[in-house]
């Protein structure tokens, strides 16, 4: 296993920052890896394909760093200096979803399949044989972040996907496609207890954990294009609806109150973010993306954990504006970040690591300030505050990610 520092990165240096911020000065660059083999089935979706192809162009050099007048470093102070990115492992990539890294940064969940014709619509629980193959397997595996071992299969079902971690890392939820429908599985990792959740005889998909390890929010309905958002706790005999009847709701996130959910609603051909209850829906962000399926899946394709650590903000990719944006509930404000931004993860309540095809930036989501960290095409996928460890994915080769860590050192 090669643990030597990666030699094809360039650390941006903020011209206002101390000389010690830049720990590497190489002008070498990496070509992008967010290409068709990152989400191969995105060729079915013109918008996603355009996004991924654009990210595959050669990177800029260090001269592409933000100009001094756009940079402020107040939000950098909690993170201090950082060490050169270091490769710590690699993992398979079937082209549907990025691996999900546990909250402590030690474990990851990823997909393996014996088929190479996976369709994005399978992530929406579609029972169509074109989307959920009648033979073969799609399985969820768990393994340490470091190294290259395959790990262990944790989904015994034939066709499983969309794994997500609870905030404590003690439980996971995932989707099982079992035509003519699909359902959610809650798995308590310590005991191995599996609990099926979801609306019976329906398509259930896109799970996210609620305020605790035992509560999951998800979409469910007769078809992927006619879904409501539901909440179900382990032990509940049936799910509770969180959105009004009728309409088409997707991309749920647990909100701060138990009877409310943040989610997307299809308004004609466009999407609107709303705060929903069963009797009403309040608009948060209107007309920000396309409601066509599977186009809406690009919303979080490069964002593993959209909800901020304090639960007051969320990230999303806005296809119409070709950038990642952040919604802040405290002041009901939306801030866009860097044209062409394609992936991000939270570092703190208002700070994210943001990736474009050219590099990674440390962004204050409140002000929009975004000094550069280093060049290269990466997916920031998890920050662990306790250790100051940022984990990223890079393209090792076709159908395989490299796993890279960056360690921040307090000043």
Q: Domain tally for the chain?
A: 1
pTM of the model: 0.83
Average pLDDT, the chain: 82
Q: Is residue 200 included in any domain, yes or no?
A: no
129 compared with 49, residue with greater pLDDT: 129
387: containing domain: 1-91+337-411
In the predicted model, what is the mean pLDDT of residues 334-346?
Answer: 94
Cα separation, 411 vs 80, in Å, equals 5
pLDDT at 218 over 80: yes
Tell me, yes or no, whether 34 lies in a domain. yes
The reported pLDDT for the residue numbered 366 is: 86
Angle (CA) 174-177-180 rounded to 5° is 145
* Tokens 């647990």 belong to residue: 254
Q: In this structure, is residue 301 part of a structural domain?
A: no
* pLDDT at 12 exceeding the cut of 90: no
Is residue 363 one of the residues assigned to a domain?
yes
Bigger pLDDT: 367 or 61?
367
pLDDT, residue 82, reads 81
pLDDT-above-70 percentage for the chain: 79
How many Å from the N-terminal Cα to the C-terminal Cα in the chain?
Answer: 31
What's the pLDDT tens digit per position in 70-101? 334 566 666 668 888 899 999 999 989 999 99
Residue 253 maps to a domain: no
pLDDT of residue 374: 85
Residue 37, pLDDT above cutoff 50: no
The answer to the question of residue 73 being in a domain is: yes
Pairing label, strands 249-254, 261-267: antiparallel
> Which is nearest to 137 in space by CA: 174, 177, 107, 108?
177
Is pLDDT above 80 for 387?
Answer: yes
Whether 228 is in a domain gets the answer no
Q: Residue 221 domain-assigned?
A: no
**Nearest of 337, 305, 306, 311 to residue 324 by alpha carbon:** 337
Over range 203-231, report the average pLDDT. 94
Whose CA is closest to 155, among 170, 127, 175?
175
Q: Which residue has the higher pLDDT, 334 or 258?
A: 334
């Amino acid at each position: 296993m090669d643990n030597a520092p990666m030699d094809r990165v360039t650390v941006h240096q903020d011209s206002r920052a101390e000389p010690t911020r830049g720990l590497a000065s190489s002008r070498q660059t990496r070509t992008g890896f967010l290409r068709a083999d990152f989400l191969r089935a995105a060729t079915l979706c013109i918008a996603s394909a355009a996004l991924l192809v654009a990210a595959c162009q050669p990177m800029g050099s260090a001269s592409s760093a933000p100009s001094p007048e756009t940079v402020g470093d107040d939000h950098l102070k909690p993170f201090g200096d950082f060490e050169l990115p270091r490769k710590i492992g690699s993992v398979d990539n079937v082209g549907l979803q990025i691996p999900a890294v546990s909250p402590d940064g030690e474990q990851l969940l990823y997909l393996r399949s014996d088929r190479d014709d996976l369709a994005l619509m399978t992530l929406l629980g579609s029972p169509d044989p074109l989307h959920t193959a009648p033979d073969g397997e799609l399985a969820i595996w768990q393994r340490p972040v470091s190294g290259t071992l395959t790990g262990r299969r944790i989904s015994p079902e034939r066709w499983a996907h969309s794994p997500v971690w609870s905030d404590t890392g003690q439980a996971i939820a995932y989707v099982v496609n079992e035509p003519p429908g699909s359902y959610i599985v809650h798995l308590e990792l310590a005991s191995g207890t599996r609990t099926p959740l979801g609306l019976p005889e329906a398509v259930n998909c896109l799970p996210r954990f609620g305020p605790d390890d035992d509560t999951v929010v998800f979409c469910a309905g007769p078809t992927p294009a006619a879904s409501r958002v539901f909440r179900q706790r382990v032990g509940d005999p049936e799910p509770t609806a969180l959105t009004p009847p009728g309409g088409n709701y997707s991309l749920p996130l647990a909100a701060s109150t138990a009877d409310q959910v943040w989610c997307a609603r299809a308004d004609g051909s466009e999407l609107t973010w709303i705060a929903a209850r069963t009797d009403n829906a309040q608009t948060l962000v209107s007309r920000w993306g396309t409601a066509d399926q599977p186009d809406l899946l690009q919303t979080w394709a490069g964002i593993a954990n959209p909800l901020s650590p304090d639960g007051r903000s969320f990230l999303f990719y806005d296809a119409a504006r070709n950038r990642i944006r952040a919604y802040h509930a405290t002041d009901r404000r939306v801030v866009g970040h860097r044209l062409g931004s394609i992936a991000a993860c939270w570092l703190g309540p208002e700070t994210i690591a943001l990736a474009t095809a050219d590099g990674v930036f440390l962004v204050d989501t409140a002000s929009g300030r975004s000094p550069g960290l280093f060049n290269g095409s990466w997916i920031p996928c998890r920050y662990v505050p306790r250790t100051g460890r940022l984990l990223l994915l890079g393209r090792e080769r076709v159908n395989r990610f490299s796993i890279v860590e960056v360690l921040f050192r307090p000043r």
